[in-house]
Each structure stands twice: as structure tokens, then as C-alpha cells.
Structure 1
Amino acid sequence: MEAASATGVLGHLGLLEVQARSRKTQPQQRSRVKELKAKVEALRIQRDQLKAEMETHKNLQKLRASMDKQCTNEEEEEEMDEESENSQLLRLMARHTQLKDLLHAHHVIGGYNIMKTRQGKAVCVSLATAYEGVFLETFNLEIDLKTMRIIRHNIPPYIPLNSLAEQSNLQTNLRTFLDTLSQHLNAFSGRKQQLKLVKELHKSVEVMESNVLCSILVLMFTVPREKTAVLCTLDYTDHTRCLPTRVHFDSEDKALPDSPEWKNNCSLLMETPVHKALIAMRKMKNIV
């Protein structure tokens, strides 16, 4: 009787253990099922989003092509109602991506303004010049995209455009070419602006000579005390800069150019824009 009783107890305990395990397993299985269902739902949502993006991208490509050609395809208009909110949104998105592409191109060529010409077969690049924060002239050149050759331009003939183009490979170094050309144009405009300011601000200084490139400037000064005339030649041999590379004085007073006072004037003219240097020389009473 005792053995049978012990067996019954052990059997009962075993049954309870099995039931306990079963109760633990069922929540785990239910949790796993919920997790898998959630994953399936997330994948479905992702699939639907990808389908929507593909459709949007397809429509954007159609709209971009239509904008680039600057014409409207009647069949595409039938497929997409212009008055619908979706159509308007897509058009805004297409315009946004188009502007992003233009900004990227703008950055690639160094921030120069560009515009498509000849139905997209060429581009017109605008190079604005400025001096001391004042915008001056704007120059333009049109480049054929197939041959990468300059078709038309309004660059002054005394700027070595062809030489600069030959030195740079426009196929691979367009930005380098534009940067170098911009340096020449800005320096030329800066020198021309300095000459203009000299004439406006310094009536007592006589401009004896200058050339079209403003690379040579000859001025006549008058020394206050002796009333001696001094001929000053400014030579701008580096055409990418607004400052002279050589300053030379001629005077009846042969000792004057070698005096400390005029050596200082020479350094001032080489390191400072000429119209500003003349203001300083007048304040020091070196010239009238």
C-alpha cells in the first residue's frame, strides 16, 4: 500500500510539472507569434512605401524631362490631373530636385552662374567682377558641351582667353580655367577702378599715361615745399593682381628717389591700392 501510494504521489507530481511547463511554453509561443506577425506587418508597410517611392520617382522623371525640354507632353497631362494635390506636390518635388541639381553644378564649377543655351547643347557662364565690395562688370562666355570649346564671349581682347584655355584642359579642368580667368578679369576691373578713383579723388595728381589693360600707370606728383615734379611709373606685370610689381620715380632732384621718405612712398605704393596710397602720401605732406 505504501509503495502504491508513493507511486501515485510521484505520478501526480510529474503531471503537475508537465502542466507547469506547458503553461510556461504557451505564453512564449504566443509572444513569438505576435513578434512574427508584427515583423510581417512591418515588411508589408516597407513594401508599400517602396512601391510608392518607385511610382513617385517614375513620375518625377517624367516631369523633369518635361521641364528640361520646356514643353508639355499632352499624354502625360492626361495621365496626371494638373489640379490634383498629388500632381501639384509632384511638380513641386520635381522643381526642388531640379534646383538641387543646378546648385550642385553651381558648386562643381566654383560658384559661377550658369545657364543652359542652344536647347541644352551649351552653357553660358557668367563671371562677375568686384572691387572693395562694389560689383563692377560681368563677363560671359558660352561653352559647347559636346566639344568643350568656347563658342562666344565678351571677354576683352587684351585678356589672354585663348592662351588660358590652351593651358587648361576644359574637359577635365573647367573650374581651374574659370578660376584663372576670373582672377585676370577681377584684377583688370580692380586696376581700372583704382584709376577711376585716382581721377575722382586726386585732382592735383595728373594721369600722364595708362593702357587699356591698366597694367601701366604713369602719374605726375608735385612735392609741396620745393614744388618739384615727380614722375611715378607703376608697372603691373602680374595681370592677376591689383597691386604693382614695380614702382619707379623720376625727378629733377636726383637725390629724391633714394631718400628715406620716398623709399617709404615706394613701399606704400607697392603694398596699397594707388588711390589709398596717395591719400596717405598727402597726409604725410609728401605730395600736394
Structure 2
Amino acid sequence: MEGASTKGVLSHLSLLEARARSRGSRPQLQSRVKQLKAKVEALKAQREQLKAELQTHKSLQRLRSSEDRLGAEEDEERMEEESSELLLLMARHLELTELLHAHHLIGGYDIINTRQGRGVCVTLATAYEGVYLDTYNLEIDFKPKVRVGRHNVPPFIPLNALCEQSDLQTGLRAFLDQLSQRLNAFAGRRQQLKLVKEQHESVEVMDSNVLCSVLVLMFSAQREKSPVLCTLEYADPTRCLPTQVRLHCEDELFLDSPQWKNNHSLLMTTPLHAALTDMKKMGFIL
């Protein structure tokens, strides 16, 4: 009896002790549960943040892909435009090349058919130092024979003599070449005279003829302070440079100096306005 009672007491005491331990650990368990719940909430928040970042990354990827496609399309359009412009330039270049070839075949002159193919109108353009000047036109009849009809060539150009020399029946291009050479030489001499008047106010033009084949100038020698009379003759109607230059001054001695002999050569070999500019720069004339 006594042993059974002792066991019952011990069991009861163990039960009480277990209950006490259970009651003591309950606050710890509750604290642990709270910690776990907080961690779960933090993980959920982190998951939502990661989802948002992933969505943003996907949006950026789509945006970049769209920009790349647009850029590629723009590059392709730009390349197509450049190719189109290049093709147009190539076509224009080919057209101009063909026109120049045709222009060369007809001697470099602008020719238009007239009188229903029984004649042509030829245009001769003049230029000097890259500047286009006057344009001249003449009609050439083919029937009953080749001859020059109406024209606006200056009367001092020996048109009839050029026709006879070239024989229009067989040498039409030679005739046009000689006429063009004379017209351009005349235009060049007249343009030089114009430039002298514009660029050299101290140089006085004393005399000149219509053909500009004779020019008389007056300028002053800078050191000697003496007026110099300069006469230029253009005996070759196909050239812009003089065939003879004469210098006159009251004091003829300084004109025989090597410097003024060089000036004489300069006037013979250089266009008049350019020669006067060089003489002024070197201090020979005012």
C-alpha cells in the first residue's frame, strides 16, 4: 500500500512539474511564433518588391526592343533614302555625260534646227577668266547650199572672209571655231579694258577703238613722278595679248632701265589689268 501511494504521489508531482514547464515555455513559444510571422511578412514584402522589379525590368526590355526596332527601321529608311539620292545622282551624271558627249560631237556649240530641218541656229557664247560675257547667234541655211543667214555678229568681224577661208560646204566646224576664237578674243580685250577702268583709277584711258585692238593709256611713274604714255596694239585678232607695246616719256632715260624693260615684257605677256596691278605693287606706277 505504501509503495503504491508513493508512486501515485511521484506521478502527480511529475504531472505538476510538466504542467509548470508547459506554462513557463508558453510565452517563449508565443514570442517565437511572432518572430516567424514577422519573418513571413518580410519575405512576402520582399517577394512583392522582387515581382515589381521584375515587371519593371520586363517593361524596360520591351521598351528597348521597341526602340531598337524603330532605330533599325529608321536606319533602313535612311539607307533607302541615301540609295535613292545616289541613284538619282548617278542618273543625272549619266545624262550630263551623254549631253557633253553630244555637245562635243557638234563641236561644242549649241545648235537648234530651224526651217523644218533646212537650217540651224548656232549660239556662240563668249567668256573671259571664267566669266560668261556676250552671246552671239547666227542662222546657217543648208539648202540650196550652206550659207550664213541672219546673225548678230559685230560688223568688224570679217564674216564673209571667214566663210570663204573655211569653205562652208565642207568645213562648217572650222568656220565656227575661227569665228568663236575671234569673238572670245574681242570679248577678252574689251573685258580687260573694263577691268582697267574699274581697278585702276589712277590710270587714264586716252584712246581705244571699237575692236579694242588699239589702247592708249596714261599713268605716272611713282619715283620719277613723270607721266608715261603707253600704247598697246593687238594685231592678232584671235588673241587677248598685245603684239606690240610702246612706252613714251619726256625723260626717256629711266625707260631704258632694266626695271622698265621688265615692265615692258610684263605688259606684253600678261593681261593688261593684271600687269598694271603688278607694276603698282612693285612701286613703279601710282
Q: TM-score, normalised by structure 1?
A: 0.63
For structure 1, the residue ranges without an aligned partner over 5 or more in a row are: 1-98
Alignment correspondent of 2:116: 119
Alignment length (residue pairs)? 190
Alignment of 1:151-190 (within 5 A): 151-190=149-188
Alignment correspondent of 1:139: 136
Quickly say closer, same or farther: Cα 1:105–1:121, change in 2 above 3 A.
Answer: farther
Q: Give, in angstroms, the shift of residue 100 of structure 1.
A: 11
Q: 1:263 aligns with which of 261, 264, 267?
A: 261
Q: Give, in angstroms, the shift of residue 133 of structure 1.
A: 0.3
Tell me, in whole angstroms, the C-alpha distance in 2 between the residues paired with 1:171 and 1:103.
26
Alignment correspondent of 2:105: 108
Alignment correspondent of 2:223: 225
* SS of corresponding position for 2:135: strand
Q: Could you list the per-position Cα deviations for residues 123-166 of structure 1 after superposition, in whole angstroms to 9, with x for gaps in the alignment?
A: 00000000000000000110001211001110000111111111
Tell me, in whole angstroms, the C-alpha distance in 2 between the residues paired with 1:272 and 1:239.
17
Tell me, in whole angstroms, the C-alpha distance in 2 between the residues paired with 1:226 and 1:151.
56
Alignment correspondent of 2:282: 284
Q: 2:273 aligns with which of 263, 272, 275?
A: 275
Q: Could you list the per-position Cα deviations for residues 154-192 of structure 1 after superposition, in whole angstroms to 9, with x for gaps in the alignment?
A: 000011111111101111111111111111000000000
* SS of corresponding position for 2:251: coil
Alignment of 1:1-288 (within 5 A): 106-146=103-143, 147-288=145-286
Tell me, in whole angstroms, the C-alpha distance in 2 between the residues paired with 1:138 and 1:125.
10
Tell me, in whole angstroms, the C-alpha distance in 2 between the residues paired with 1:104 and 1:170.
24
Rg larger for: 2
Q: Give, in angstroms, the shift of residue 262 of structure 1.
A: 1.0
Quickly say closer, same or farther: Cα 1:148–1:106, change in 2 above 3 A.
Answer: farther
Tell me, in whole angstroms, the C-alpha distance in 2 between the residues paired with 1:114 and 1:256.
55
Q: Give, in angstroms, the shift of residue 108 of structure 1.
A: 3.2
Q: Give, in angstroms, the shift of residue 101 of structure 1.
A: 10
Q: Give, in angstroms, the shift of residue 221 of structure 1.
A: 0.9
Q: Could you list the per-position Cα deviations for residues 38-73 of structure 1 after superposition, in whole angstroms to 9, with x for gaps in the alignment?
A: xxxxxxxxxxxxxxxxxxxxxxxxxxxxxxxxxxxx
Alignment correspondent of 1:11: none
Identity within the alignment, %: 68
Q: TM-score, normalised by structure 2?
A: 0.64
Q: Give, in angstroms, the shift of residue 224 of structure 1.
A: 1.5
